[in-house]
């Protein structure tokens, strides 16, 4: 199975901050990587797929990059509704594994 390791696991930030989350894969997955946002008590929501393509309706302050084994999710200017947990998922092979999550908390 492909392992995904996110860093950091927790992140304290303020509104307006630039935030970057990293996802590393245990083997190459090309650009078969998606990012999801999960707010407390809610289902995950798709943000980005193909490592860098924004899902419809997702604000442009979110961006993704990377290929192979290293990927990043960047929020250019954190908004109050962005305090949530973020997960990466690889869709290169089965099983479709997820990273352990990164919780973005209010500083």
Partner 1 sequence: QVQLVQSGAEVKKPGASLKVSCNPSGYTFTDYWIHWIRQAPGQGLEWLGWIDPKSGDTFYAQKFQGWVTMTRDTSISSTSLELRNLKSGDTAVYYCARGVVTPGVTGSRRLDYWGQGTPVTVSS
Tell me which residues touch partner 1 (CB under 8 A).
30-34, 36, 43-46, 49-51, 53, 55, 87, 89, 91, 94-101
- Shorter beta-carbon distance to partner 1: residue 10 or 77: 10
Which CB, 1 or 77, lies closer to partner 1? 1
CB 44, CB 36: distance < 8 Å: yes
At its nearest, how many Å lie between partner 1 and the CB of residue 29?
A: 9
> CB-wise, 17 or 58, nearer to partner 1?
58
State the nearest-atom distance from the C-beta of 15 to partner 1, in Å.
26
Nearer to partner 1, 78 or 88 (CB): 88
Please report how close the Cβ of residue 95 comes to partner 1 at its closest, in angstroms: 4
Give the DSSP letter string of the chain. ---EEEE-SEEEE-TT--EEEEEEESS--TT-EEEEEE-TTS--EEEEETTTEEPTT--TTEEEEEETTEEEEEESS--GGG-SEEEEEE-SSSS--B---EEEEE-
């Amino acid at each position: 199975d492909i392992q995904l390791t996110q860093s950091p696991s927790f992140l304290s930030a303020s509104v307006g901050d630039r935030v970057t989350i990293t996802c590393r894969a245990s083997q190459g997955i090309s650009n078969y990587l998606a990012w999801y946002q999960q707010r407390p008590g809610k289902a995950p929501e798709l943000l980005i797929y193909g490592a860098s393509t924004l899902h419809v309706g997702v604000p442009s302050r979110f961006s993704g990059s990377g290929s192979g084994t290293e990927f990043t999710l960047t929020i250019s200017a954190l908004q109050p509704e962005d305090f949530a947990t973020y997960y990466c998922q690889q869709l290169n092979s089965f099983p479709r594994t997820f990273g352990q999550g990164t919780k973005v908390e209010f500083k």
